[in-house]
């Protein structure tokens, strides 16, 4: 008993040989007969075999023996090329070193091939049907090709190293949960998913790509979950989603993209969630969102850095679905560049949804870009809007109603006179306005006799005093002890009469324009108001005197505001 036990155990551990697969079926015999010719590549017509086609059946263990070159079975230098086979059993190549290409195109696998930790030149599975693919830590010196492959389970490529591209154009993958798990993958080329149909998520977190991640025209469906995860991805080329339809979140957080992020004509949908998140991603090229691109859900560009933006208004997300705080970009290479449109763009942010009252940086960034592009007036309009919203947020934070009212009054004054310090020339416009208005008021007052000399000597003189009495009337003058006749003609006011007296010829003329300017500008002394003032005893005189004091106060206020505006004291920091 003790001598036979080791013999039985040893038999169980003996590796299979070519003779152990005898008798070979017709397909296997054909493959073996052409093994070293290098010109054999198909069974039957080479197309996908149909169920029950016994002429196409090849055992996976037999293929493994041929691939590894066991039992004096040497592959041709071109490697193994086989198409149209129905492969039964498990093709287990885990940890194997395969110094040749392996091409199993248009084959039907009954079990998921296992290539974990395998080393191979190129792997071609184009057009095949697989229950899944296990290739964690796979090293391929060339490419991994899955074009038009149908995979009914998960592809696992975590930690894989690929020397060329991963070509999966037209691939169809369907599985609950994660359909492609390639976290930490490295490839000198790119990942091509053009026209792919994926029912499940794709995990590309922390991948390093020498080229593009190209999912042009792809359809990725994982509603309510992360459909495409590119967190911490490093791509030397583009992230191309042109014409793609993705239901679920596209999350590319903290990534670096050496080219463009192109969402031209893409349809990205994650209602009540993040449809596209590029949070903290650096994009060396441009971000494209145009040609009827649709984003249903939040477009998160928080802290994203990109070279330029090429978008169109019809593709912008709805109000409340845009995040631009700390987003930096260099220019607009398409889409609107006027303040009205771009302010509508910024208004689609709703900071209160994210427990914030206001984000000033998006407005400052937009203003800087518009200014650098030569749109100075639009840049200023953006900053004025930023000041208005920022001050409104400040008032909302103020709990004291009296202080809130004071702030509202101050903000209204600064808005109307200086554009919150962004348009200090407005103060000069207001000064000009009151100058003209004052000139009209004082000119009317002068014509109506509601102005009088400000000299006490003149006001006590007989020329002025007697001009207040019409001719034919007389008045006793205590100063002289005489009864003197009046000098004013019938209907003539005192001022007009005085100006007609020879003694008044040397008194300075009244100039309403200069008088208004003298009243309005406190730092200037033109001399007009030193010689003339409103006569409150005459018609319109009381109003003119009140307006005199009003214009004086306005002049002081506008002058101070103009100085503050030009010095930048009233701008928010």
Q: Which two tokens stand for residue 396?
A: 């909302």
**Is the same domain home to 427 and 547?**
yes
In a domain, 438, yes or no: yes
Pairing of strands 474-477, 482-485: antiparallel
Residue 13 has what pLDDT?
47
Residue 10 has what pLDDT?
40
In a domain, 432, yes or no: yes
**Is the same domain home to 447 and 469?**
no
DSSP three-state, residue 225: strand
Going from the C-alpha of 233 to that of each of 251, 257, 295, 397, the distances in angstroms are 10, 8, 22, 40
Q: Which two tokens stand for residue 160?
A: 């894989």
**Is the same domain home to 382 and 464?**
no
**Whole-angstrom Cα distance, residue 23 to residue 20?**
8
- Residue in the block written with tokens 């020397």: 163
Residue 15 has what pLDDT?
57
The backbone torsions φ and ψ at residue 447, rounded to the nearest 5 degrees and listed phi first, read: -65, -35
Nearest residue to 84 via CA among 111, 109, 56: 56
In a domain, 63, yes or no: no
In a domain, 74, yes or no: no
**Whole-angstrom Cα distance, residue 73 to residue 398?**
85
Residue 11 has what pLDDT?
40
**CA atoms within 13 A of residue 358's CA, in its CB half-sphere:** 16
**Is the same domain home to 446 and 558?**
yes
In a domain, 573, yes or no: yes
**Is the same domain home to 435 and 553?**
yes
pLDDT tens digits, residue range 336-367? 999 999 999 999 999 988 889 999 999 999 99
Ramachandran class of 218: left when φ > 0, alpha when ψ lies in -120 to 50, beta otherwise: beta
**Is the same domain home to 521 and 484?**
no
* Positions in the chain short of pLDDT 50: 1-13
Q: Is the backbone peptide bond immediately before 23 cis, with ω within 30 degrees of 0?
A: yes
**Is the same domain home to 526 and 553?**
yes
**Is the same domain home to 353 and 393?**
yes
| Among candidate residues 491, 506, 521, the one where a domain is terminated | 506
In a domain, 451, yes or no: yes
Range of the domain at 565: 421-455+510-573
Nearest residue to 551 via CA among 468, 462, 392, 442: 442
Residue 500 has what pLDDT?
82
Q: Residue 3 contacts by C-beta under 8 Å, 6 or more apart in sequence?
A: none
In a domain, 245, yes or no: no
Structural contact between residues 62 and 82, judged by C-beta atoms closer than 8 angstroms? no
**Is the same domain home to 445 and 517?**
yes
Residue 74 has what pLDDT?
67
How many domains is the chain built from? 3
**Whole-angstrom Cα distance, residue 229 to residue 246?**
12
**Is the same domain home to 373 and 445?**
no
C-alpha torsion angle, residues 70, 72, 76, 78 (rounded to 10): 20
**Whole-angstrom Cα distance, residue 249 to residue 419?**
42
Structural contact between residues 294 and 314, judged by C-beta atoms closer than 8 angstroms? no
Residue 18 has what pLDDT?
60
**Is the same domain home to 355 and 479?**
no
Q: Using CA of residue 129, residue 135, residue 140, residue 142, what is the dihedral sign? A: positive
Q: Which two tokens stand for residue 199?
A: 């029912």
In a domain, 427, yes or no: yes
- Residue in the block written with tokens 């002049």: 555
**Is the same domain home to 355 and 502?**
no
pLDDT tens digits, residue range 165-190? 999 999 999 999 999 999 999 999 99
Residue 43 has what pLDDT?
83
Q: Residue 114 contacts by C-beta under 8 Å, 6 or more apart in sequence?
A: 90, 91, 92, 93, 94, 134
Collect contacts of 368-377 with beta carbons under 8 A, ≥24 apart. Answer: 369/329, 369/330, 369/331, 369/332, 370/337, 370/339, 370/342, 372/331, 373/331, 373/332, 373/337, 375/337, 375/338, 375/339, 377/339
């Amino acid at each position: 008993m003790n001598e036979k036990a080791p013999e039985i155990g040893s038999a169980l551990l003996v590796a299979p040989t070519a003779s152990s697969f005898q008798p070979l079926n017709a397909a296997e015999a054909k493959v073996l007969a052409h093994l070293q010719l290098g010109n054999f590549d198909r069974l039957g017509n080479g197309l996908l075999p149909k169920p029950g086609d016994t002429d196409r059946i090849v055992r996976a263990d037999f293929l493994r023996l041929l691939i590894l070159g066991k039992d004096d079975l040497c592959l041709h230098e071109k490697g193994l090329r086989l198409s149209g086979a129905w492969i039964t059993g498990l093709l287990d190549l885990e940890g194997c070193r395969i110094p040749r290409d392996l091409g199993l195109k248009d084959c039907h696998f009954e079990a998921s091939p296992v290539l974990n930790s395998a080393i191979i030149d190129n792997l071609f599975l184009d057009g095949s049907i697989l229950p899944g693919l296990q290739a964690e830590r796979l090293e391929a010196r060339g490419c991994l090709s899955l074009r038009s492959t149908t995979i009914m389970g998960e592809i696992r490529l975590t930690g894989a190293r690929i020397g060329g591209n991963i070509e999966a154009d037209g691939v169809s993958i369907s599985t609950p949960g994660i359909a492609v798990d390639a976290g930490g993958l490295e490839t000198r080329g790119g990942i091509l998913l053009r026209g792919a149909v994926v029912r499940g998520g794709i995990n590309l977190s922390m991948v390093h790509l020498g080229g593009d991640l190209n999912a042009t025209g792809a359809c990725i469906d994982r509603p309510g979950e992360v459909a495409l995860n590119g967190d911490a991805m490093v791509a030397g080329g583009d992230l191309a989603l042109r014409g793609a339809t993705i239901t679920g979140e596209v999350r590319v957080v903290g990534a670096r993209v050496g080219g463009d992020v192109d969402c031209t004509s893409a349809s990205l949908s994650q209602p009540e969630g993040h449809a596209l998140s590029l949070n903290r991603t650096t994009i060396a090229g441009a971000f494209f969102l145009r040609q009827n691109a649709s984003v249903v859900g939040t477009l998160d560009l928080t802290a994203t850095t990109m070279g330029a933006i090429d978008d169109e208004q019809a593709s912008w997300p709805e109000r409340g679905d845009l995040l631009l705080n700390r987003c930096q970009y260099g220019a607009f290479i398409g889409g609107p560049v006027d303040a009205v449109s771009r302010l509508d763009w910024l208004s689609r942010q709703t900071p209160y949804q994210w427990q914030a009252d206001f984000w000033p940086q998006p407005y400052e960034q937009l203003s800087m870009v518009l200014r650098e592009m030569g749109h100075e007036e639009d840049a200023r309009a953006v900053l004025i809007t930023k000041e208005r919203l920022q001050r409104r947020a400040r008032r909302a934070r103020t709990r004291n109603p009296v202080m809130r009212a004071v702030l509202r009054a101050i903000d209204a004054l600064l808005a109307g006179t200086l554009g919150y310090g962004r348009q200090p020339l407005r103060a000069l416009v207001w000064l000009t306005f009151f100058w003209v208005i004052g000139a009209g008021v004082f000119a009317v007052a002068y014509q109506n006799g509601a102005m009088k000399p400000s000299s006490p000597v003149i006001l006590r003189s007989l020329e002025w005093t007697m001009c207040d009495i019409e001719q034919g009337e007389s008045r006793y003058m205590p100063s002289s002890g005489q009864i003197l006749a009046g000098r004013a003609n019938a209907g003539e006011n005192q001022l007009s009469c005085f100006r007609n007296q020879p003694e008044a010829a040397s008194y300075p003329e009244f100039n309403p324009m200069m008088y208004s300017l003298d009243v309005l500008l406190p730092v200037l002394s033109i001399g007009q108001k030193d010689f003339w003032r409103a006569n409150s005893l005459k018609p319109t005189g009381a109003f003119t005197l009140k307006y005199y004091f009003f214009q004086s106060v306005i002049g002081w206020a506008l002058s101070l505001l103009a100085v503050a505006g030009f010095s930048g004291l009233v701008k928010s920091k």
